[in-house]
Homo-oligomer: A and B are copies of this chain.
Amino acid sequence: MAESVSSIENTPHSEIPELVRNQLEALLEKNNLEGAKSLLVPVKAVDIAEAIENLPESMQAIAFRLLSKTEAIEVYEHLDSSVQQALIEEFKRQEVIEIVDQMSPDDRARLFDELPAKVVRRLLAEMSPKERQNTALLLGYQEDTAGRIMTPEYISLKDSLTVEQTLQRIRNLANASEIIYYLYVTDASRHLTGIVSLRDLVLASPEAPLSAIVTREVVSVYTDTDQEEVARLIQRYDLLAIPVVDREQRLVGVVTVDDVMDILEQETTEDIYTLGGVQSDGDNYFQTNLLAVARKRVVWLFVLLLTNTVTGSIIQSQEDILQQVVTLAAFIPLLTGTGGNVGAQSSTVVIRGLNTDEIRSLGVGYVIFREALAGALLGLILGSVATLWSFWLQGSLVVSIAVGLSLIAIAILASVAGSALPFLFRSLGLDPALMSAPFITTAVDVLGVLIYFNIARIVLDL
Contacts and interface: CB of A to CB of B under 8 A. Distances in A.
Given A316-B327, A352-B269, A378 B311 contact: no
Interface in A351-376: 352-353, 356-362, 367, 370, 373-374
A442 interface: yes
A241 B327 CA distance: 63
A111 B233 CA distance: 24
Interface of A: 13-14, 17-18, 21, 42, 44, 46, 50, 54, 167, 170-171, 174, 180-181, 198-199, 201-203, 217, 219, 229, 233-240, 257-258, 261-262, 264-265, 268-269, 271-273, 275-278, 284-286, 290-291, 293-294, 297-298, 300-302, 304-305, 307-309, 311-313, 315-316, 319, 326-327, 329-334, 336-338, 340-342, 344-345, 347-349, 352-353, 356-362, 367, 370, 373-374, 377-378, 381-382, 385-386, 389, 393, 436-438, 441-442, 445
Contacts of A309: 333-334, 389, 393
A285 B349 contact: yes
B304 A219 contact: no
Chain A binding site: helix, strand, loop or mixed by DSSP? Answer: helix
Contacts of A261: 234-235, 257, 261, 264
A257 B278 CA distance: 31
A378 to B, nearest CB: 6
B202 A202 contact: yes
A285 B353 contact: yes
Nearest to A272: B352
Given A18-B361, A262-B235, A265-B235, A345 B297 contact: yes
Contacts of A340: 441
Given A202-B171, A357-B14, A337 B442 contact: yes
B276 A347 contact: yes
B341 A301 contact: yes
A294 B379 CA distance: 10
In the A-B complex, the 7 residue pairs with the smallest Cβ-Cβ separation, listed nearest first, are A276-B348, A238-B258, A308-B337, A311-B333, A308-B334, A312-B330, A316-B330
Given A54-B361, A264-B265, A285-B353, 17 more contacts: A14-B229, A44-B219, A181-B199, A240-B257, A277-B345, A278-B345, A286-B370, A290-B374, A294-B377, A294-B378, A297-B374, A304-B338, A305-B382, A315-B329, A344-B437, A437-B438, A441-B441
